Amino acid sequence: MKNLLLKNATVITMNPAQPTVSEILISGGTIVKVGVDIDSGQSCEEVIDLGGRTILPAFWDAHVHFFQTGIREIEFDGGSMETETELFDALRDWIRNGNRVNGYGYSPRHNGDLPTRAQLDRINREIPLFLRRVDGHSSCFNTAMLEIIQERIIGMESADIKRGWLFGEAHILVEHFIAAQIDTDTLKRAAREVSKRALSVGCGTIVALVPKVDWMKLLLELDLSIQIVPRLETLNPREACELGLKRVGACMPMADGAFGSHSAFLFEEYSDRPGCFGKRGIADEKLDSWMAEAAKLGLSPAVHAIGDAAVEMVLRAVEKIPPDDRPLRARIEHAELLTDSQIERIADLGVSLAMQPVFDALWGGPDALYANRLGKRWRRLNRFRDILDAGITIAGSSDSYITPIDPLAGICAAINHSNPDQRVSAEEAISMFTTGAAKSEGFDDNFSSIEPGKHADLVVLDSDIRNYPCGAKVAMTIVGGEIKFNRSESDV
């Protein structure tokens, strides 16, 4: 591997001992020197003058539904549709090309309901139609799809067959059924799409959430251009050990659902649905047993918990384990609604939080989904300022396929939180998607800062993100000392 010298740059190292330099020397995929006017003492096969551009450690995305993200890239995507008319027209166009619909990302206008079975039947009764809500926790289907899945969901409380809606357990069951139909070639294509997307937005490392053992085996065999940190989503932690993994969980187990689907588990009822507190996604006893088993096996566990009552379930599961036996690097995924006392306990337990700042950009504020579902509690959501002030590590992420992999969008959202009291500085927002994410997974010794001995995973931006946090664009992504994405070349 050739030596590479990057010069004439604003290098934000994320290393407090040497916060800013102008040159980086890379050899063998590792950072060798950083400083000003580096005399390499050896010939450099390649020298790149960056003309004053900004260099950061390559971004991390700490929560990506890996294969589903790639599959969404090649399946029907309703994420850009704002009305039912737009959605239905797009579905008709998709079907004209002879495609069944395995759809993603629709967000009902005014946070309302998904289309009904009758509405989807008017589009087409012969081709199976299946469409997920944007939060990924509920879905709808037409009669042709019902004929395929009916035996699996009949009699389930979480399946409204008349209206064609699935929630919670029924939704997950059908998701797993659909996943089982996806062939290996499609999965490989999906993986390449994820890698391509990640590099284009400056990501060098993805924490890949994988819900099936056979999918995980495939992922471990693939040679991709990005770094992968694998997490097997399973209720049997031993399956992760058998694959040689060090991490388990994320969105399986799930302590609850999501606000949009009224399934996030809350201490107080939903403002727009009196008497509804959401629903726990797993029994307390089963979560306690899962957490204890993960700790016993030496795995780093992660659990999906959005509402405050769900977060309480996870904290109690950790606290029930004797202090000396508690799991290393436990994580809570999302942790959107927290009480003050929960923040204190999370800090005391050393639990990190995998959070998605762009959720606030999409659904935060007094006139959006959070306020519609929770009333004044919207101001207590995604408390980045309070969490960082408590000394808790935040691992920045997208929850892709729910929102696209895009660390710069996440950084911008964290800086511009809809509640001014929860805004963070540019440096703190950057740390979520670099040092924070790496620390949450135990990689801070080798990644996430620019200093000698660290992996040469870097992102080059066209402007200084500290001055233009919402205007910077990725110009280049370097992984292992090799340029994996170059915008000037990709635009040719």
pLDDT at 299: 98
**Residue 301, beta-bridge partner list:** 248
Using the predicted structure, report yes or no on whether residue 433 has a pLDDT greater than 50: yes
pLDDT at 100: 87
pLDDT at 41: 59
- CATH code, 18: 2.30.40.10
Q: What is the mean pLDDT of residues 147-172?
A: 94
pLDDT at 37: 83
Q: Are residues 473 and 388 in the same domain?
A: no
pLDDT at 344: 98
Using the predicted structure, report yes or no on whether residue 7 has a pLDDT greater than 80: yes
- CATH code, 285: 3.20.20.140
Q: Are residues 25 and 112 in the same domain?
A: no
Q: Are residues 250 and 308 in the same domain?
A: yes
* Residue 447 domain-assigned (yes or no): no
Q: Are residues 255 and 403 in the same domain?
A: yes
For residue 18, give the nearest of 29, 28, 31 by alpha carbon.
31
Count of the separate structural domains present in the chain: 3
Q: Is 18 buried (19+), middle (13-18) or exposed (0-12) by CB count in 10 A? A: middle
Token pair, residue 183, equals 């062939």
- CATH code, 141: 3.10.310.70
Q: Which domain holds residue 126?
A: 74-180
* Residue 63 domain-assigned (yes or no): no
Q: What are the residues whose beta carbons fall under 8 Å from the beta carbon of 298, sequence distance 6 or more?
A: 246, 328
**Residues 108-120 pLDDT 10s:** 877 889 999 999 9
- The verdict on pTM exceeding 0.95 is no
* Residue 256 domain-assigned (yes or no): yes
- Percentage with pLDDT > 70 across the chain: 98
* Residue 191 domain-assigned (yes or no): yes
Q: Are residues 215 and 129 in the same domain?
A: no
pLDDT at 379: 97
Q: Is 391 buried (19+), middle (13-18) or exposed (0-12) by CB count in 10 A? A: exposed
Q: Are residues 288 and 390 in the same domain?
A: yes
Per-residue pLDDT band at 355 (split at 50, 70, 90)? very high
Q: Are residues 210 and 354 in the same domain?
A: yes
| Distance (Å) of CA 49 to CA 7, 52, 336, 479 | 5, 8, 42, 18
Q: Are residues 326 and 360 in the same domain?
A: yes
Per-residue pLDDT band at 6 (split at 50, 70, 90)? very high
**Residues 55-107 pLDDT 10s:** 999 999 999 999 999 999 989 999 999 899 999 999 999 999 877 899 999 98
pLDDT at 464: 92
Return the amino acid letter for 376.
K
**Residues 378-412 pLDDT 10s:** 999 999 999 999 999 999 999 999 999 999 999 99
* Residue 64 domain-assigned (yes or no): no
Q: Nearest 5°: phi and psi at 66?
A: -60, -65
pLDDT at 297: 98
For residue 44, give the nearest of 62, 56, 53, 32 by alpha carbon.
32
Using the predicted structure, report yes or no on whether residue 49 has a pLDDT greater than 70: yes
Using the predicted structure, report yes or no on whether residue 173 has a pLDDT greater than 50: yes
Least trusted range by pLDDT, from 140-144, 274-278, 440-444, 485-489: 485-489
* Residue 67 domain-assigned (yes or no): no
pLDDT at 40: 59
Q: What is the mean pLDDT of residues 311-335?
A: 97
Token pair, residue 30, equals 């590792």
Token pair, residue 272, equals 């727009």
Identify the domain boundary among 180, 215, 231. 180
Q: Are residues 217 and 119 in the same domain?
A: no
Using the predicted structure, report yes or no on whether residue 492 has a pLDDT greater than 70: no
Q: How far is CA 279 from the centre of its chain?
A: 22
Instruction: Give the separation between CA 314 and CA 489, rounded to whole angstroms.
Output: 47
| Distance (Å) of CA 486 to CA 47, 143, 195, 435 | 15, 47, 14, 24
Per-residue three-class SS string for the chain: CCCEEEECCEEECCCCCCCEECEEEEECCEEEEEECCCCCCCCCCEEEECCCCEEEECEEEEEEEHHHHHHHHHCCECCCCCCHHHHHHHHHHHHHCCCCEEEEEECCHHHCCCCCHHHHHHHCCCCCEEEEECCCCEEEECHHHHHHHHHHHCCCCCEECCCCEEEHHHHHHHHHHHHHCCCHHHHHHHHHHHHHHHHHCCEEEEEEEECCHHHHHHHHHCCCCCEEEEEECCCCHHHHHHCCCCEEEEEEEECCCCCCCCCCCCCCCECCECCCCCCCCCCHHHHHHHHHHHHHCCCEEEEEECCHHHHHHHHHHHHCCCHHHCCCCCEEEECCECCHHHHHHHHHHCCEEEECHHHHHHHCCCCCHHHHHHHHHHHHECCHHHHHHCCCCEEECCCECCCCCCHHHHHHHHHCCCCHHHCCCHHHHHHHHHHHHHHHCCCCCCCCCCCCCCECCEEEECCCCCCCCCCCCEEEEEECCEEEEEHHHHCC
- Cβ 291 vs Cβ 340: under 8 Å: no
* Residue 446 domain-assigned (yes or no): no
* Residue 449 domain-assigned (yes or no): no
Average pLDDT over the chain, rounded to an integer: 95
Q: Are residues 34 and 128 in the same domain?
A: no
pLDDT at 46: 87
Q: Are residues 417 and 366 in the same domain?
A: yes
Per-residue pLDDT band at 488 (split at 50, 70, 90)? confident
Q: Are residues 83 and 229 in the same domain?
A: no
